[in-house]
Structure 1
Amino acid sequence: MAEATAPAGPVGTEQLRRTNTALVLRSLRFDGPATRSELARRTGLAKATVGVIVSGLDAVGVVSEGVLDEPVGRGRPGRPVALRDDALVGLGLELNVDYLSLVLLDLTGEVRRHEHRPRSTSDGAADLLALVRSVMSEYAAARVVGAMVAVPGLVRGDDVTVAWAPNLAVDGAALVAALAAELGCPVTITNDANAAAYAESRHGAAVGIEHAVYLTGTVGIGAGVVVDGRPLRGAAGFAGEVGHMPIGDSTAPCGCGRRGCWEASIGLRAMLARVGLPELDTPLSSAEAVARHADEPAVAAGLDAVGRDLGRGLATIAHLLNPAVVVLGGYFVPLGERLLAPAREALAARLPAEVGYPELRLSGLGIEAAATGAAELALDGVFLGEVPLA
């Protein structure tokens, strides 16, 4: 179970109540349903305190209590407490260069709805708002406690300002204001790779891994870093912008205006240029088309070159961060071993065997990884006692 963070100083009665309530909610989420007595043992709270918390959560529809089939020992059977899956939800969204994603996640961690679609206009905010309206009209009964938008760019520590997104024009403040007015809940923005890394640590290929890196595979290339189960953001929120490291073809023009960026050698459009095939409506459909031609000599040679440049960059990341696992998402997934085999060779050639090589894994969440992580992060306030539940 995730542990509570100790308060920095004295706290008031209301804050203490929220902290203890969050402790119970985290236990139910990460350790599963339990009786009140079991919750008291798990959390270290007094049974009477747990009873008051559970009653309050039951009253606002956040938990439900059942009855065991048979008594355990003497006395009445315990009543297992469980999170309800229809009361509170977190909304995760992704706005990318050529597609949108949406994931609706309930308190139990189950995905209630997921969808991704190509961008239909040049106005990303309008496209995203239209997607939200079409989906959320079906979930009027659920309370959205928070929404988060993942974007391929640098997001400042205020979780609103998009400081730099070389492949995407987006006004963070205007986007947040429009979505907050539509949803009636707090809305924030995060980096897409950070969100995807968090999702993989909770739901995907990095579950149970304390030190992992997620590498996006879209038009842009970014990395999300998870340390001890939490995203590593850096001093200004800019950690993980690996796509603009000077690795690969030093003459290749990048969307940022410079030459020689890693993204200019292994990003989606760089990969398509190397194999000589056109871009389709989403990164996945483009990569799936490439996979169908992967045995053709020119395509195979192009993929080998991309894979080698991928491995060279991963060697740099491994030297800096020493992750146990690197998860590759987006367009990397349909191409699988066509890229991973040459990447492993290049990685091994540049990393001392004594250091050990990170295991390369393909994302288990597909193109919706960033939106899934954004939904998890949108729910974090509930499990940290920051969101009033009444």
Structure 2
Amino acid sequence: MGLGLEVNVDYVSAVALDLAGRVTLAETRPVGIGSDLVALATDVRNSLMADGHTVVRAAVAVPGLVDRDNRTVAWAPNLDWHSRPLADELETAFEGQCPTTVDNDANCAALAESSHGIAVDVEDSLYLTGTIGIGAGIVQSGVLLRGGAGFAGEVGHMPIGHPSAVCGCGRRGCWEASVGLRAMLAAVGMDEASTPLATAALVAERAASDAAVQAALTQLGRDLGNGLATLTAVLNPSAIVLGGYFVPLGEFIVPAAQEVLAERLPSAELHLPEIRLSSLGIQAAALGAAEHALADVFSGALPI
């Protein structure tokens, strides 16, 4: 059994995956600043073991940069984490019985969408997280693109947002400061709920009868499309997958985003990628992390 975990600003998730690729357990808990990750991880692992399962490895998806050791969170600004030895902390909680690695949340979600979700039919895709932070998982020829230091996909910090908008990283003008969850809530004048999807569902309900909210979401879609045009010009994905809070708001933001993408992409007449909505929900990154946890088993590097 592989245990996949995700920690984010306002929730933690866990997914257990068996060797046949079946999800045997999935749980999400709303929290504050990811403080209950260890509790969730130990609760889920204990539950699996009580049912007779063996958890061979665990992996954690985090919204930030991960060191080359795949164990340390180098920088996660929205969690205010710097050089945090997260794998060590979890292995201590697991009493040394469950080797653990760490990866970026967008990478994990992109992997899950390519294997289980809406991007199974394409070899080249771009996955965009939709939480407080905005990151990308880039799949090319079926393989995750990681870059020279392993930090590829930090698209939320591209300087294409509103110049005055302050980002969680401390800079101004980052894309996520214009299209992240809290930027969207400020634009529509609503408060955050328990999780990004729950929050977006409430906004979608309001938008159904509120023209001002609809207009704000249309502008969000245009800002989103602007960034997607830049990324598409560089990466040429066959499909773009929107995850997280974007999913419940799809009917309000995707048409505007697709329109801007067609307007701004020089190669649009030759190839215009389809914008798709994630089919895996809030647990996409945790599911991808569970797959990551079993990678050495499937390759034969870890005996079972």
Give the shorter-chain TM-score range.
Answer: over 0.9
Match of 1:91 in 2: 3
Match of 2:271 in 1: 356
SS in 1 for 2:248: helix
Match of 1:381 among 289, 296, 299: 296
User: What is the TM-score with the length of structure 2 in the denominator?
Assistant: 0.95
* Identity rate, percent: 60
Match of 1:239 in 2: 152
Match of 2:53 in 1: 142
Q: CA deviation at 1:230?
A: 2.0
Q: CA deviation at 1:171?
A: 5.9
Moved over 4 A (4+): none
For residues 91-170 of structure 1, the aligned pairs below 5 Å read 91-119=3-31, 121-122=32-33, 124=34, 127-140=36-49, 141-170=52-81
Q: CA deviation at 1:231?
A: 1.3
Match of 1:66 in 2: none
Match of 1:275 in 2: 188
Separation in structure 2 between the aligned mates of residue 173 and residue 160 of structure 1, nearest angstrom: 9
Q: CA deviation at 1:173?
A: 4.9
Q: CA deviation at 1:160?
A: 1.6
Residue-by-residue CA offset, 1:267-299 (whole Å, 9 max, x unaligned): 000000011111111101110010001131210
Separation in structure 1 between the aligned mates of residue 169 and residue 44 of structure 2, nearest angstrom: 34
Gapped regions of structure 2 (runs ≥ 5)? none
For residues 1-390 of structure 1, the aligned pairs below 5 Å read 89-119=1-31, 121-122=32-33, 124=34, 127-140=36-49, 141-170=52-81, 173-183=84-94, 184-294=97-207, 295-352=209-266, 353-389=268-304
Gapped regions of structure 1 (runs ≥ 5)? 1-88
Separation in structure 1 between the aligned mates of residue 15 and residue 180 of structure 2, nearest angstrom: 25
Residue-by-residue CA offset, 1:114-138 (whole Å, 9 max, x unaligned): 011101x55x3x5111112222222
SS in 2 for 1:92: strand
Q: Is the 8 A contact 1:172 1:189 kept in 2?
A: no
Separation in structure 1 between the aligned mates of residue 82 and residue 74 of structure 2, nearest angstrom: 9
Greater C-alpha radius of gyration:
1
Moved more, 377-386 or 192-201: 377-386
User: What is the TM-score with the length of structure 1 in the denominator?
Assistant: 0.74
Separation in structure 2 between the aligned mates of residue 328 and residue 106 of structure 1, nearest angstrom: 26
RMSD: 1.3
Q: Is the 8 A contact 1:252 1:259 kept in 2?
A: yes
Separation in structure 2 between the aligned mates of residue 144 and residue 232 of structure 1, nearest angstrom: 28
Moved more, 300-309 or 157-166: 157-166
